[in-house]
Structure 1
């Protein structure tokens, strides 16, 4: 079992232990966005890396021995792709990537369009916009194929998807069922909680997106704020919340904070697509859904129904509920974060290791 860092000395542990270990095995890269029929070719934004998406990979072979779990394998037993949430970036997952590496996995993280140093189609870096939700899915599929899978071609390709990244991951498993070997969904956005009823949301959002209204901040959105302890949701670790805020405050590329009307519209469309019975029935990837009991951003009922539908259609899906946990699972206190990491690694290990009868020496081979 991977040991979590001490919350009481969180900043020093991140600076002195986690980040040096990650730096020893990290590689930054750039990937041309995927193309797909029906998707408009977008202009290359000014000041972008020639319109390419940024990613970071971490190779287990280069991860320091002293930082590995005592029972970690000699060689990587698979690769974990982390699909980040709304307004996030690769560095937000430093700690989680560290634990997956310590447990024996390569890690790969793609910054979605409109996030981090990937292309921004709006001049205002504070806002998150996307023209078509399907762009997220085909970009992630390409990333899995050309970057993540080659890191360990004969081993398992797993994914950990949080919130928006969880919704994208579900769409990936529905549209391209053979991509992943195992998927952990962390508080996934199966259905976002909106301020208007679901029946009228599409029409209301279409009205807001008329002209260039899709680029405007959605109702209630505010720009990146000054620090306040009130920014850390009750139930989260203050040490983790403050660390993440400081990382974002140091770089304008990490300060996107406002959802645009266009982004919200596309997330509603994504949600409607992934909840269709015909789409859920295509899932063959084993899924573990880790639900936050106090989540006010995504529907728990939709998550329950999704898992039920997958299993009723013959798929493999299970759900674990973290009572008292708010949405942002990566910033939970150790007691709950330890459950997230432990359950995730156990799940990945199960689908990364051959069954006993598949062992090469089982029958004296």
Structure 2
């Protein structure tokens, strides 16, 4: 998906878990109106662009993380081939935030700015328990099946935080229509495989390691966003933790915004217009700061 012709910069979108790139159409249109060429692709195991042989809810049978990061780099190279010389901002929501930070750390010279929204890089001891349990499940059942326990401890637990919930997906957004669209979308809300859960935990722990964060240029603009009512990030505590982690690692240009009334899907919540306006202003500052580097 691409938008924008006479562009001032390129925006790459990395979507979240159990959803797809087309859900970012309104966001892409808003950013295109601000002069950005916007590209969003479906991650492996997600969306309508899966091959018949690609299992839904799985990155790859082997080295799924490497494959997904290579995809991000390939989309970036395609975008730059169509818009040479323009600065590139990489945006990721939730799982996409895990992908985006790991992608930027793998090839930091490819990106002029990085945005990580609603992603948890600090799963703590509960995450270590999850990794152990997933290792057992993989040994007993294989990698290409769902993990009922991890699903209950994640999606199920997040649903229970909304006391007066209408549906078990109200933790995504305050907007009932947005929640209903997600539920009605056949490409959303599918089961996640053991393999993909393992990859997610690995990206979560790896992405926030100090040695990995120090791969990023100290002056790289970073935009962090969290929702004060998002159970998936402990009500944005995980985003504040990442802010501190990045600054301790020497990153000097980190902007963190916590929307007190926001749930998990900022771009589909009732605060979306304000969030898009704020992000657009940040993006314009990134591309207008004249941060240009020649790239291969």
2:36 maps to 1:105: yes
Alpha-carbon distance in 1 for matches of 2:176, 2:58: 26
> Could you tell me whether the CA contact under 8 Å between 1:148 and 1:157 is conserved in 2?
no
Distance apart, 1:279 and its partner CA:
0.3
* Structural mapping, 1:35-184, within 5 Å: 56-58=1-3, 60-61=4-5, 75-116=6-47, 117-119=49-51, 125=56, 127-128=57-58, 130-131=60-61, 132-145=64-77, 147-184=78-115
For 2:58 and 2:191, the matched residues in 1 are separated by 6
> Is 2:292 the partner of 1:347?
no
Offset, 1:319: 0.9
Selected match of 1:307 from 240, 243, 261: 243
TM-score normalized by structure 1? 0.68
CA distance in 1, matches of 2:286, 2:188: 36
CA gap 1:113/1:129 in 2 versus in 1, 3 angstroms? closer
Q: How big is the shift at 1:176?
A: 0.8
Query: Is 1:259 equivalent to 2:192 in the alignment?
Result: yes
Moved more, 78-87 or 235-244: 235-244
Contact 1:128 1:257 in 2 (8 A): no
The higher radius of gyration belongs to 1
Distance 1:268 1:120, change over 3 A: farther
Q: CA RMSD in A?
A: 2.5
State which drifts further: 273-282 or 113-122: 113-122
Q: Give the conservation status (yes or no) of the 8 Å contact 1:166–1:185.
A: yes
SS of structure 1 residue aligned to 2:257: strand
- Looking at structure 1, the residues matched to 53 and 242 of structure 2 have their Cα atoms a distance apart, in angstroms, of 33
The 1:325–1:168 alpha-carbon spacing in structure 2 relative to 1, beyond 3 Å, is same
Which one of the candidate residues 236, 240, 243 is aligned to 2:174?
Answer: 236
SS at structure 2 position matched to 1:197:
helix
Note the residue ranges of structure 2 that are not aligned, 5 or more in a row: 153-164
Name the CA distance, whole Å, in 2 between partners of 1:119 and 1:242.
Answer: 27
* Number of matched pairs: 270
Kindly state the Cα deviation for residue 89 of structure 1 after the two structures are TM-superposed: 1.3
Q: Distance in 2 between matches of 1:326 and 1:218?
A: 24
- Counterpart of 2:160 in structure 1 is none
Equivalent residue in structure 1 for 2:260, among 298, 310, 323: 323
Cα distance, 1:313 vs. partner? 2.8
Deviation, structure 1 residue 119: 3.3
Q: Residues 295, 120 of structure 1: CA spacing in aligned structure 2 closer, same or farther, 3 A cutoff?
A: farther
Q: How far does residue 200 in structure 1 lie from its aligned partner after superposition?
A: 3.0
2:120 equivalent to 1:189: yes
Partner of 2:158: none
Q: TM-score normalized by structure 2?
A: 0.82
Whole-angstrom CA distance in 2 between matches of 1:298 and 1:129: 23
2:215 aligns with one of 275, 282, 293 = 282
Name the CA shift for 1:129/1:136 in 2 (closer, same or farther; >3 Å): closer
Q: Does the CA-based 8 Å contact 2:267-2:276 persist in structure 1?
A: no
Give unmatched runs, 5+ long, in structure 1: 1-55, 62-74, 223-227, 359-365
> Which residue is 2:203 aligned to?
270
Distance (whole Å) between structure 2 residues aligned to residue 351 and residue 151 of structure 1: 20
The structure in which a higher percent of residues are helix is: 2
Decide whether the 8 Å contact of 1:128 with 1:256 is kept in 2. no
